[in-house]
């Protein structure tokens, strides 16, 4: 074999080796950059009523932008308003009962009890005089035994009536018992709680947006029966927005939280979206069929999220995207501002950001 042929063969082998290496490492891109492919992902809210009932109106349409606290839908509140009116009536009654007990006896009631007591005391004295007189006369047989017995009965009855009137007078002066006032106060507090619950149930016939977003779908319509387990709408939340991609085990050690990244899409060529690595899955999984990668489908990969700044509101759920992670960044890439970093930290686990 000639020297020239050997050189050609060696050159071909080197070229093939370089080509194979480039093909196996094509996802790594330029030096210090890791290129991944994934889809845009966002969070969705599924608001539902806190009570069951028939829906009377839905005030938003698909595509509507809703603000925090905006009214979305209403239920028929007829029976809830009736329950509230009943609870308010019971509360007013318990309030008056407590006020009457705390005020005690009126002066007129005390005066009436005193007058009744004195009248019965006078009657008892008169009946006592008659009884004692008949007791002396019976010794001379001037009155019959029956008359004496009747006088004794009248005296005892009047004496008992006087004692009862005296106790009523003392009770009127002392006023209600402490235990009665405490029981009335407890009943009044219970009625207040019942009114608060009834008011809350009336409030729950209105469905409000918990935060701003865009209505994706109306799951129920007016006339449908709603329940606490059935969402009424699907609302897409504007933040955080991230690209869900997968990194192979070979490149896992090169990626860490906070690395700066850029995202591009085919929908908006030339538009670059800045972001950072905000999540790395702690567990491995087999490569999903939808992931574009050079490794075999049985290779283990780790889910990765790159939180993205989208000031022009161009990214949409499920949009394919290309992620370029700067492996040389210090891990504190500039974000979308404090608010965006806070949303990502609350919504996607640790962001690895300072």
State yes or no: pLDDT of 354 exceeds 80: no
Convert the pLDDT of each residue in 242-266 to its tens digit: 999 998 888 888 888 889 999 999 9
CA triple 108-113-118, angle to 5 deg: 125
Pairing of strands 206-208, 71-75: antiparallel
Per-residue pLDDT, 316? 87
Distance of CA 153 to the CA centre of its chain: 73
* Structural domain boundaries in the chain: 30-42+239-347, 47-76+205-230, 83-200
Per-residue pLDDT, 341? 41
Convert the pLDDT of each residue in 190-241 to its tens digit: 999 999 999 999 999 999 999 999 999 999 999 999 999 999 999 998 888 9
Per-residue pLDDT, 352? 36
Lowest mean pLDDT among 3-12, 29-38, 86-95, 300-309: 3-12
Distances 123 to 112, 160, 177, 221 between C-alpha atoms, Å: 17, 11, 31, 81
Two structure tokens written together for 117? 């007591």
**Higher per-residue pLDDT: 283 or 81:** 81
Closest CA to 237 of 269, 259, 276, 211: 211
State yes or no: pLDDT of 185 exceeds 90: yes
Per-residue pLDDT, 251? 85
Q: What is the mean pLDDT of residues 68-94?
A: 95
Looking at CATH, the fold of the domain delimited by 30-42+239-347 is given as Elongation Factor Tu (Ef-tu); domain 3 (2.40.30)
State yes or no: pLDDT of 4 exceeds 80: no
Closest CA to 310 of 280, 342, 340, 279: 340
Q: Residue 155 — φ and ψ, nearest 5°?
A: -65, -45
Q: What is the mean pLDDT of residues 144-159?
A: 89
- What is the rounded CA–CA span in Å between residue 50 and residue 201? 8
Convert the pLDDT of each residue in 112-143 to its tens digit: 888 998 999 999 899 999 888 888 888 888 88
CATH number of 47-76+205-230: 2.40.50.100
pLDDT band at 93 (very low <50, low <70, confident <90, very high): very high
Two structure tokens written together for 210? 């918990």
Two structure tokens written together for 50? 């806190």
Burial of 307 (0-12, 13-18, 19+ CB in 10 A): buried
**Residue 106 burial (CB count, 10 A):** 11
């Amino acid at each position: 074999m000639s020297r020239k042929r050997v050189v050609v063969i060696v050159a071909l082998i080197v070229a093939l080796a370089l080509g194979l290496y480039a093909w196996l490492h094509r996802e790594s891109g330029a030096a210090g950059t890791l290129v991944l492919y994934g889809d845009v992902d966002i969070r969705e809210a599924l608001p539902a009523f806190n009570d069951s009932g028939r829906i009377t109106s839905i005030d938003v349409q698909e595509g509507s932008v809703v603000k925090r606290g905006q009214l979305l839908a209403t239920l028929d509140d007829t029976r809830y308003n009736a329950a509230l009116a009943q609870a308010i009536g019971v509360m007013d009654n318990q309030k008056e009962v407590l006020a009457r007990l705390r005020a005690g006896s009126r002066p007129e009631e005390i005066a009436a009890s005193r007058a009744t007591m004195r009248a019965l005391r006078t009657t008892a004295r008169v009946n006592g005089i008659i009884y004692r007189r008949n007791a002396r006369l019976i010794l001379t047989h001037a009155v019959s035994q029956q008359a004496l017995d009747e006088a004794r009965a009248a005296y005892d009855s009047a004496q008992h009536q006087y004692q009862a009137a005296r106790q009523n007078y003392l009770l009127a002066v002392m006023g209600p018992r402490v235990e009665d006032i405490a029981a009335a106060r407890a009943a009044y507090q219970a009625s207040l709680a019942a009114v608060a619950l009834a008011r809350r149930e009336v409030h729950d016939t209105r469905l409000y947006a918990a935060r701003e977003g865009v209505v994706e779908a109306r799951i129920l319509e007016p006339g449908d029966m709603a329940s606490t387990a059935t969402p009424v709408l699907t609302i897409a939340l504007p933040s955080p927005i991230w690209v869900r991609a997968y990194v192979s085990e070979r490149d896992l050690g090169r990626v860490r939280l906070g690395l700066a990244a850029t995202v591009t899409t085919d929908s908006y060529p030339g538009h670059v979206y800045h972001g950072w690595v905000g999540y790395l899955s702690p567990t491995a999984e087999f490569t999903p069929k939808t992931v574009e990668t050079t490794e075999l489908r049985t290779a283990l990969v780790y889910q990765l999220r790159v939180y993205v700044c989208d000031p022009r509101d161009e990214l949409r759920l499920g949009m394919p995207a290309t992620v370029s992670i700067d492996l040389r960044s210090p891990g504190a890439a500039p974000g979308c501002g404090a608010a965006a970093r806070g949303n990502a930290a609350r919504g996607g686990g640790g962001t690895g950001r300072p």
